[in-house]
Amino acid sequence: MKSPELVHADPEAQEHQAKAADRPKVMKRKSLSARGIHDTLLLEGREEINRRWQALAFSGLAAGLSMGLSLIAQGALRHYLPENSWQPAVAKLGYAVGFIAVMLGRQKLFTETTLTGTLPWAQDRTAATLVLVVRLWLILLVANLAGGWLFAAAAAHTTAFSPELRESFFKVGEEAVRHDFATAFVKGIFGGWLIALMVWLLPSAGSAKLWVIVITTWLLAVTEMTHIIAGSVEILYVVSTGALSFGTYLTRYAVPVLVGNTVGGIVFVAALNYAQVTPDEEKKKAKILA
């Protein structure tokens, strides 16, 4: 006859065993905390600001060229979709294509580093780190715009695309530069916020990374928010055709959008999300010192 101890197992022991067995499953499903996301992007930012300028320049040039895919996709969708009230919203899905290539291909955009590049400086706030951050921004901005202009010029002056597609490209670029300085600036703030927010979301997105990129960038495009690199490729296509002056591009788009994107990335995401984790860090330090 079996003893009572074997027949009636300890309920607390059973519960403990069940929790131990479920713990790996829970940890697998658990999302990264704000601290975890912050630390992931902080590490990435430190690696970026310390990379050799040649590596940054080539990565930025590749990203600028890749952003041309957004112009191709939008132009193709506008050309092949029937004229309808829903056509502009669907065509804006093409805006995501360049970002998909850049983000999944680990190329570097200036707007991405308004978050990742700022975090290392927010951590130690030294002049040396600030110099490295500004260096990162300048290299990527110039390289991104150079790559975008190369693509725009090639699309405008070669026969790679049909006249009908080139006309669609022209319309996309023409629409991008229709805002005045103040409107482009404000839209740039929201555009910078959305892109930096996308970067913040990606570490915990897992297999949903593609959807995070598509939804965020489509929202940016369909609401006509501005992005210094993607929008510049569109407008520089029009500049390359001779229909718009480079000075008009600078004053009505490049300058206000660049400032707006930078403000949006730094203030709305880097500062606010950094503030989520610093109080906890200070609390831990206080406990250690107590």
82 DSSP 8-state letter: P
Give the pLDDT band of residue 19 (cuts 50, 70, 90): very low
SS3 per-residue string spanning 185-248: HHHHHHHHHHHHHHHHHHHHCHHHHHHHHHHHHHHHHHCCCCCHHHHHHHHHHHHHHCCCCHHH
Give the pLDDT band of residue 279 (cuts 50, 70, 90): low
Give the pLDDT band of residue 283 (cuts 50, 70, 90): low
pLDDT of residue 37: 84
Give the pLDDT band of residue 25 (cuts 50, 70, 90): very low
Q: Give the percent of the chain with pLDDT over 70.
A: 82
> pLDDT of 39-84, one tens digit each?
888 899 999 999 999 999 999 999 999 999 999 999 999 999 998 9
pLDDT of residue 17: 58
pLDDT of residue 27: 43
pTM over 0.85: no
Domain boundaries, the chain: 33-289
Q: Which of the pair, 288 or 276, is modelled with greater confidence? A: 276
Whether residue 29 is predicted with pLDDT greater than 50 in this model: the reply is no
pLDDT of residue 31: 62
CATH number (1.20.1080.10, 1.10.3210.10, 1.20.140.10, 1.10.3720.10) of 33-289 reads: 1.20.1080.10
The residues, ordered by sequence, that sit 6+ positions from 15 with a Cβ below 8 Å of its Cβ are: none
